[in-house]
Structure 1
Amino acid sequence: MLPDMPLLLAFVGASLMLAITPGPAVVYIVARTLAQGRACGLASVLGVALGNLSNALGAALGLAAVFAVSSAAFTTVKWAGAAYLVYLGIRMWRTALPVTDATPQVLAQPLRRVFRDGFMVALLNPKTTLFFAAFLPQFMDAHGNPLMQTVALGGVFVGIACCTDVLYVLMASLVAPRLRRAAWSGRWGNRLAGTSFIGLGVLTAMGTRPAR
């Protein structure tokens, strides 16, 4: 299912460079971590990873071809993803819970809902499917099964991205306690995260370049 070792190593190197570069997913995950803690950040990583893996599977099954030829399908999914991000941002603004080291709400955040939100944010990004359709074939064996290779390489890429995203969560979780102790924090932590989500939603709606 995977290409020969030299080609696989080239794929891993290229994937690592792409994964470590901050993008919309990293902004979303870091905002979650700063506002709601490490556990929510890690739950977001898992949700985003599953959403991206689903997009890789969609690329393998030809969904990318549908998006490429049907602007209506692409636009519908893109706007759905943008609307979901804006919805999450508004929800964060309306919640606006004070965030401190002793705040029980930070620890009591429903991780299942955070996981679901991350999954939906990643899944409703058709540009990710197009990215996989454009990037993965460059490292495939011409004599191999394209469906299985797309799924396998997509899984490797998502695994690498998951590892780098976890590093971002760990770094953000080191900064978060200091931010929570700052005089301007509290309610503004959730509001800043909500603003980030709304901004990502606007960028998603306006963007045209495939991106993770």
Structure 2
Amino acid sequence: MWSTLPAFLGACLLVAASPGPSTVLIIRNSLRGRRSGLLTVLGNESGVFLWGVFAALGLTAVLDASEVAYDVMRVVGAVVLIGFGVQALRTARRMGDGGLGEAAAPGEAPPTGWRSYRAGLLLNLANPKAGIFAMAFLPQFVPQGAPHLRSMILLAAVWAVFEVGYYATYVWGVGRLRALLSRPGARRLLERISGGVLIALGIRLATEG
């Protein structure tokens, strides 16, 4: 395992640096506070680890082999992405109406740690591409002759822990700029941008072949 670890960590860095819906959600939730951002990261990486375990067990092969299974997951993922996007746009509208955003919306409970964790986990697990990617990505770094199942699960754990550290820098960066980014105008703009991006990604996932 030690012989393949440097190459694996380099590949993990390239994967984490590629922007995606998880990055958008982590940055958005980090505006609520570092705790919310870090719990979103932990939720997302729990999803990464679970996809790795599913890949090790061969379960993600179903998504690759069955067009129906993949299409079902694709539609579910698109609905989740669009739902998060609409939520962000609603938050921006409430702020524009003089509200304080999602945390102070009338009739809604303030965001909790569980909600942040659940959001990160749900967004990751609802993406069938993540499962198929894990199935193709992890086996490349299993050393020849090593136990396949155990090695895949270990690599999935290393991948998730590495990304926790990587995305924690995003949370830290947003925290450093929070005084600027939390101004009503800036926050409203960021909510609109993140909402638009998430909706666009959801539509793309829903309509792709």
Same fold (TM over 0.5): yes
**Cα shift at 1:164:** 0.7
Q: CA separation of 1:196/1:41 partners in 2, compared to 1, >3 Å: closer, same or farther?
A: farther
What is aligned with 2:23? 26
TM-score, length-normalised on structure 1? 0.83
Query: In 1, distance between residues paired with 2:71 and 2:45?
Result: 23
What is aligned with 2:103? 105
TM-score, length-normalised on structure 2? 0.84
Percent identical pairs in the alignment equals: 32
Letter of the 1:105 counterpart? A
Asked if structure 2 preserves the Cα contact closer than 8 Å seen for 1:19 and 1:160, the reply is no
CA deviations on 1:52-72 (whole Å, 9 max, x unpaired) are: 111111111112211111011
State the SS of the aligned residue for 2:156.
Answer: helix
**Cα shift at 1:91:** 2.4
CA deviations on 1:26-77 (whole Å, 9 max, x unpaired) are: 122112223x332221121011011111111111111221111101101111
Q: CA separation of 1:127/1:89 partners in 2, compared to 1, >3 Å: closer, same or farther?
A: same
**Cα shift at 1:114:** 1.6
Q: CA separation of 1:163/1:83 partners in 2, compared to 1, >3 Å: closer, same or farther?
A: same
Give the length in aligned residue pairs. 201
Asked if structure 2 preserves the Cα contact closer than 8 Å seen for 1:56 and 1:150, the reply is yes
**Cα shift at 1:188:** 4.4
Instruction: Write out the 4+ residue segments of structure 1 that deviate beyond 6 Å after TM superposition.
Output: none
Query: In 1, distance between residues paired with 2:125 and 2:208?
Result: 16
Which of 3, 6, 12 matches 1:6?
3
**Cα shift at 1:105:** 3.0
Which segment is superposed worse, 156-165 or 194-203? 194-203
Q: CA separation of 1:128/1:186 partners in 2, compared to 1, >3 Å: closer, same or farther?
A: closer
Letter of the 2:146 counterpart? G
**Cα shift at 1:189:** 4.4
Structure 1 residue ranges without an equivalent (≥5): none
What is aligned with 1:196? 197
RMSD over aligned Cα atoms: 2.6
Asked if structure 2 preserves the Cα contact closer than 8 Å seen for 1:88 and 1:197, the reply is yes
Residue 118 of structure 2 is aligned to residue 116 of structure 1? yes
Q: CA separation of 1:188/1:23 partners in 2, compared to 1, >3 Å: closer, same or farther?
A: closer
Query: In 1, distance between residues paired with 2:101 and 2:86?
Result: 21
Query: In 2, distance between residues paired with 1:20 and 1:194?
Result: 21
Q: CA separation of 1:159/1:203 partners in 2, compared to 1, >3 Å: closer, same or farther?
A: farther
Asked if structure 1 preserves the Cα contact closer than 8 Å seen for 2:52 and 2:138, the reply is no
Query: In 2, distance between residues paired with 1:86 and 1:191?
Result: 13
Matches within 5 A, 1:1-212: 3=1, 5-34=2-31, 36-96=32-92, 97-98=94-95, 105=103, 108-181=110-183, 184-185=185-186, 187-206=188-207
Query: In 1, distance between residues paired with 2:103 and 2:28?
Result: 16
Structure 2 residue ranges without an equivalent (≥5): 105-109
